[in-house]
Structure 1
Amino acid sequence: MKVFEDIYQRAAQRKGSGAALKAKLTKPLEPQALRALSDDQWLEEFTRKVFQSGFYWAVVDNKWDGFREVFWQFSIEKLLMMSPEMYEQRSQDERIIRNAKKVKSIADNCHMIFEVQQQHGRFSEFVANWPEDNIVGLWLYLKKHGARLGGNTGPYALRVLGKDTFLLSKDVETVLRAEAVIDGGLQSQKSLHAAQQFFNEMRDYSGLSLQELSQIVSMSVGENVR
């Protein structure tokens, strides 16, 4: 597959060698390890990514112990019992970043996870079983049924917790447009499915994960030299 070979060689050259490039790649979790995650962890990571969106990540990280205290370590069982008034009160707690709309997303995403649990037993099982060759379908599910998980927010949370996914970073977008994979809006369904097909074809050819391929594509352009 010429397009993959060209991208790989460009990334390897920018990093110094093929070995240097491979040393920088990270891999997703195996399905068994993904299933071992607690559903509380998913809610916590969704919340972290929601608050990091449009904000300095370091500030969010510095406040995170406070978030965990205020929201009971993101215990879904406990948070389901909180009333809207309780969420509103806690949105003003000085231990967290006080943003009422983003705090409300905790309740909404908690309920999304709970609804999945009713159908699939556990949210981690649901995510682990989702086919990677339609990972954008999971992105769209999170956007539709969750709160503030559209764009890159949901996909970044999936990546952090180990689900195999590519990411539509600026560098990846640059390559997708240069290769004429997409020509419209980045987050349109047409573009998402075209990007999925592009990564699926490279995965079938190379045997690499979507995560590894996404990193290779990203490292083939932009300012991330060496």
Structure 2
Amino acid sequence: METFSDIYARASARKGSEKILMSLIGNPLSAAELSTISDDVWLEEFTRKVFQSGFYWSVINAKWPGFREVFWDFNIAKLLMMSPEVLEQKAADERIVRNYKKVQTIPENCYMIYDVQQSTGSFSEFVAQWPSDNIIGLWAYLKKNGARLGGNTGPFALRAMGKDTFLLSRDVEAYLRAHEIIEGGLQSKRSLQAAQDFFNELVEQSNWSLHALSQLVAYSVGDNLLPETGE
């Protein structure tokens, strides 16, 4: 298995320099920062990622002001009171992408967040305190208790919100398979645990976040697009 230094050296060479590489690496929010986010924003981001799945993201983003108008800025307290009849009306509104099955995820994920609130007081705090060395456990929670948050949808939402997580992007998956860290189904328990163990080891070697390490691995393989030249 390659070390952090091996991966860092190759990624730096591929991007042209350590300086360029580091300009491309991001980091997550702190637990304290995460815990201050409104739970309504979590529902909004889950919904955005559900709709972006299978669609051009630019189309969904262009429609997003309409989504916010139709669904009361994703106010959980209001949405909990929404009747099935009102949901059907909203699903047919021209201001949104009219996909009823995906619209149905809004109240379902609203109730998931509400259930967490009843036990912990805050969904944001729940996510903030979840240990990153078992981030796949949080992925599993979202898949089991939420609607359409399995696969990469839940992890992409977590990343967008600032929670420290690696992503199983095509480049990361290609790396893990090429180095025989995973085999078989990408979303199998065995593959997910192997990926978590791999990134945990890199965290110990580098003291980097999962977010940064995931990007580093991706930049060390796949298409090499240099910012200055577009190559």
Match of 1:180 in 2: 180
Shift of 1:166: 0.2
Rounded Cα–Cα distance in structure 2 between residues aligned with 1:170 and 1:93: 35
What do the CA deviations read for 1:2-31 (whole angstroms, capped 9, x no partner)?
432221111111110112111111110011
Does residue 1:142 correspond to 2:142, yes or no? yes
> What do residues 36-82 of structure 1 show as CA deviations (whole Å, max 9, x unaligned)?
10000000000000000000111101100000000000000000000
Question: Could you say what secondary structure the match of 1:97 adopts?
Answer: coil
- Taking the aligned partners of 1:59 and 1:208, their CA distance within structure 2 comes to 34
Change (3 A) 1:88 1:118: same
The separation in 2 between residues aligned to 1:85 and 1:185, in whole angstroms, is 40
**AA paired with 2:199?**
F
CA distance in 2, matches of 1:168, 1:95: 32
1:204 aligned residue: 204
Q: Distance in 2 between matches of 1:21 and 1:92?
A: 45
- What SS does the corresponding residue of 1:159 show, helix, strand or coil? helix
* d(CA) in 1 for partners of 2:212, 2:61: 26
- Which residue of structure 2 aligns with residue 85 of structure 1? 85
- Please state whether the residue corresponding to 1:130 is helix, strand or coil: coil
Q: Provide the secondary structure at the position in 1 that maps to 2:167.
A: coil
Residue 70 (structure 1) aligned with residue 67 (structure 2): no
Hey, what does 1:16 align to over in structure 2? 16
- State the one-letter code of the partner of 1:218: A
Where do 1:1-226 residues align within 5 Å?
A: 2-226=2-226
* Partners of 1:218 and 1:88 in 2: CA distance: 41
C-alpha contact (below 8 Å) 1:219/1:225 kept by paired residues: no
CA positional deviation for 1:84: 1.5
SS state at 1:144 partner: helix
Inter-partner Cα distance in structure 2 for 1:203 and 1:3: 11
Give the whole-Å Cα distance in 2 for the aligned partners of 1:175 and 1:4: 13
Output the TM-score relative to the length of structure 2. 0.96
Where in structure 2 are there 5+ consecutive unaligned residues? 227-231
Runs of 4+ aligned structure 1 residues displaced above 6 Å come to none
**AA partner of residue 91 (structure 1):** A
Q: 2:229 maps to what in 1?
A: none
| Residue identity matched to 1:93 | D
Cα offset, 1:85, TM superposition: 1.6
Q: Percent identity?
A: 64
**Gapped regions of structure 1 (runs ≥ 5):** none
The RMSD of aligned alpha carbons is 0.9
Cα distance, 1:137 vs structure 2: 0.3
Q: Tell me the TM-score normalised to structure 1 length.
A: 0.98
| Whole-angstrom CA distance in 1 between matches of 2:35 and 2:169 | 27
The amino acid of 2:70's aligned partner reads V
Other structure's SS at 2:171 match:
helix
Amino acid of the structure 2 residue aligned with 1:57: W
What is the CA–CA distance in structure 2 between the aligned matches of 1:88 and 1:2, rounded to whole Å?
52
Letter in 1 for 2:32: Q
How far apart, CA to CA, are the structure 1 residues paired with 2:135 and 2:151?
A: 14
Q: 2 CA distance for matches of 1:46 and 1:194?
A: 26
Q: Distance in 2 between matches of 1:224 and 1:152?
A: 23
Task: Give the C-alpha shift of residue 89 in structure 1.
Answer: 1.3
